Amino acid sequence: MSRKIGAKKPERYELGRVRDRVTFLYLEHAKLNRQDSAIQVTDQRGIVYVPAAIISVLMLGPGVDVTHRAMELIGESGLGVVWVGEQGVRQYAYGRSLNHSSALLEAQASLVSNRRSRVMVARRMYQMRFPNDDVSQLTMQALRGKEGARVRRVYLEQSEKTGVPWSRREYNPDDFDAGTPINKALTAAHQALYGLSYSVISALGASAGLGFVHTGHDLSFVYDFADLYKAEFSIPVAFEIASVYSDDPDIGSRTRLAMRDAFKDGKLLVRMVRDLKSLLGMPDEDSDVDTVSLWDDRLGLQKFGVQYQELPEDGR
C-alpha cells in the first residue's frame, strides 16, 4: 500500500457551517503554516493555532508569509482570503475575475435557466465534438450515447497507436498511486485540463457551477467545458507518456509537463476564450467594463452613484 503524505482532507460534514463561523480574522507580521487541521500562526510573541473551519474570512495584512500547506488547508476549508493594508484599511487583492463585466455570467444564467436554451447550448457542445454530423435534433439521451461511443473509440485508437494496454478507466481519487500507469497519467492530464478550464471560466466572469450537461456540482460547467478538449489533448498526452514512462514513479509530474507543452503548442487558451464566448452567444470581443448600473423593471439600466428621491404615491 502506498504511503499517504499530509493530513487527511476534511469531509464536508466536518466543516463548520457558514452561519456558525467567526466573521473574520485579521493577521499581520506573522508566518502562516499548517498543523493538522489548524492554521499555525507564528510571530514574535509566539505561536497560536486557529481552526480553519471556524473562520469565514482571513484578512492578511503587511508582513504575512503563507506556506503552501497553509493555503491547502484554507482552500479545503472554504475560507475566504483577502490581502489588505495595515489594520485592514485598504483592500489589495482577493479572488476575482479578470473581466469585471457580468455580461457573460448573465448570459450563462439566462441560458441555463430555460429548458430550450439549455438544450441548445448542450447541442452546441456536442456539435463541436462531431463537426461532420448534424446533432441539432438529437435528444440529450442520444447525445450521451453518441459521446460515450466516441470516447471509447478514442481510448482504443490511442491504445493501438501507442501500444499501451487499455481495458477501462479506473482510478481512486483518494489514492493516486493505486492506479495503473495509464490511469495515473489520465488522472494527471485531466486534472491539468480541468484547472485550465476553471481559470478561463473564472477569468471571463462566468460561473463554474452553472453547467449545461453536468449539474448539481460547483464545478459542473468546468466538466462541461473540459470535455470539449479531452480527445485532442489530455487523452493522447496521457497515452504517449504512459508508453514511454510506464515504470516512472513520477509519471504524474511528467504528464503535467507534457500537458503544459500541449496547451502552449496548441494555443488552447486562445481557443478556450473564443469557444466559451461562442457557446454562450457572446461576441468575441473585449467586453471588460468597470461600471455599475442599477436595474429597473420599467426604465432599464439607471445610473449608479446618484442620490434618487422618493416618488409620490402615484409613481409620477
pLDDT for res 8:
59
Q: What is the pLDDT confidence band of residue 314, given thresholds at 50, 70 and 90?
A: low
Residue 128 has pLDDT above 60, yes or no: yes
Residue 55 has pLDDT above 90, yes or no: no
- Which one is predicted more confidently, 176 or 234? 234
pLDDT for res 94:
62
DSSP 172-202: -TT-GGGS-HHHHHHHHHHHHHHHHHHHHHH
pLDDT for res 40:
95
Q: What is the pLDDT confidence band of residue 273, given thresholds at 50, 70 and 90?
A: very high
| Set of cell numbers at residue 148 | 460515450
Which tens digits make up the pLDDT trace of 191-245? 999 999 998 998 888 999 999 999 999 999 999 999 999 999 999 999 999 999 9
CATH code reported for the domain at 12-94:
3.100.10.20
Which tens digits make up the pLDDT trace of 4-39? 445 555 555 455 565 667 678 899 999 999 998 889
Q: Is 100 annotated as a binding residue?
A: no
Q: Is 214 annotated as a binding residue?
A: yes
Contacts of 241 (CB under 8 A, 6+ apart): 185, 189, 251, 254, 255, 258
Tell the residue number behind the cell numbers 436554451, with chain if given.
117
- pLDDT above 70 covers a percentage of the chain that reads 83
- pLDDT above 90 covers a percentage of the chain that reads 59
- Which one is predicted more confidently, 174 or 58? 58
Closest-CA residue to 188 (of 257, 101, 278, 280): 257
pLDDT for res 312:
66
103-279 under CATH 1.20.120.920, yes or no? yes
pLDDT for res 179:
86
Other beta carbons less than 10 A from residue 191's beta carbon: 17
Residue 10 has phi, psi (to 5 degrees) of: -65, 145
pLDDT for res 177:
82
How far is 201 from 221, CA to CA, in rounded Å?
A: 8
Helices (H), 204-232: 220-226
| Mean pLDDT value across residues 52-65 | 87
Q: Is 36 annotated as a binding residue?
A: no
pLDDT for res 23:
76
Going from N- to C-terminal start, the domains of the chain cover 12-94, 103-279
Other beta carbons less than 10 A from residue 77's beta carbon: 21
Q: What is the pLDDT confidence band of residue 259, given thresholds at 50, 70 and 90?
A: very high
How far is 193 from 178, CA to CA, in rounded Å?
A: 21
Contacts of 313 (CB under 8 A, 6+ apart): none
| Mean pLDDT value across residues 57-62 | 88
| Mean pLDDT value across residues 178-198 | 93
pTM of the model: 0.76
| Mean pLDDT value across residues 91-99 | 65
Determine the Cα angle at 51 with ends 47 and 54, to 5°.
140
Beta-strand pair 55-60/80-84: parallel
| Mean pLDDT value across residues 133-142 | 94
How large is the angle between the packed helices 115-129 and 140-162, nearest 10 degrees? 20
On the 0-12 / 13-18 / 19+ scale of CB atoms within 10 A, 122 is buried
Q: What is the pLDDT confidence band of residue 150, given thresholds at 50, 70 and 90?
A: very high
Which segments of 19-173 are extended strands (E)? 22-27, 30-35, 38-43, 46-51, 55-60, 64-66, 80-84, 91-94
Mean pLDDT of the chain: 86
The single-letter code of the amino acid at 220 is S
pLDDT for res 294:
75
Residue 288 has pLDDT above 70, yes or no: no
pLDDT for res 45:
93
Q: Which H or E run contains 236?
A: helix 234-244
Domains 12-94 and 103-279 share a fold: no
